[in-house]
Amino acid sequence: MKKTAFAATLAAFLIAKVQANTVGLYLGGQVWQSEVNGIFGEKNTLIDFNLKKEQQGRYFIAFEHPYPLLPNVRIANTNLDTTGKTYSTQTVSFVNNGITHTSIIDTNIEDSINMSYVDYTLYFELINNDLFSLDMGVTARDFDGSITATESTTAVNTWQDIYGTPYSSTDNQDDVRRIKTDEIKAMLYVATNISLPLTGLSLFAQGDFLLMNEHSLSDYHVGLSYDLVDSRRVDFNLTLGYRTVNMEFEYLNNLYTDLEFKGAFVGVIVHF
């Protein structure tokens, strides 16, 4: 009975009416200038590091086939790198044996962020025709990043002895802390494309979304695509659009964030 069911299922895969005309391989990439806003750090010590604009990269490979009961596969890699720093000054005074000691503490904190991740996506083509397409699926987002903070502290200490003679000393110290993120998060994947007839242009949108428990995560972009080459053997598209990545984490490997990366991108997509 089990063998019969297996054979019937396999036959259904092989003779199923196709949703896609042929097997397709997609290769693509983006370069985008991201503006970064937000705060991050450990619990109760969230800091705005005045993060810099940086050029980010993203590339992907996707495989589509004509069997509607099997998902298509998409793998994408995204690098989110930036640096920043902040500065603070505080004065601390205390009295010891009638002598007042005053310390002026200057703290410079430099930070380096790498929030890279790989998306493993399985999706189905719910609608696919010459004018409109709609894909939905699930993404496993595999984070492999880190945040490194280097805190340089300079303390200038001043005091007077019992005769009123002033003294001072300077203490310098560096403290390096690193938080690594290596978790996998499940997300909803949605993508759509609307062709503009007789123009070679199409509007597209794509996103991954998570809103679960203490974390909130979204990654989406919209844009315009132009068919530079459209032949039976290969298609070559130029893309232009805007992308936004939001990361709000509560205790992700002891990391707390409220970060937003956003900016315009240019890219290419090749379809064999």
Residue 214, pLDDT score: 65
Q: What is the pLDDT of residue 139?
A: 96
Which residue stretches of the chain are H helix? 2-15
Distance, in Å, from the CA atom of 62 to the CA atom of 121, rounded to the nearest integer, reads 9
* C-alpha span between 245 and 267 (Å, rounded): 17
- Looking at residue 29, its pLDDT comes to 94
Closest CA to 199 of 226, 170, 172: 226
CA angle 166–171–174, rounded 5-degree value: 165
Q: Identify the three-state secondary structure at position 44.
A: coil
Give the pLDDT confidence score for residue 136 in this predicted structure: 96
Take residue 121 and report the two structure tokens written for it.
């996506």
Q: Which residues of the chain have pLDDT under 50?
A: 1-20, 90-97, 99-105
Residue 129 is classified by DSSP as: S
The secondary element (H helix, E strand) that includes residue 7 is: helix 2-15
pLDDT of residue 118: 95
Walk me through the domains of the chain, giving residue ranges and CATH numbers: 2-80+115-144+182-271 (2.40.160)
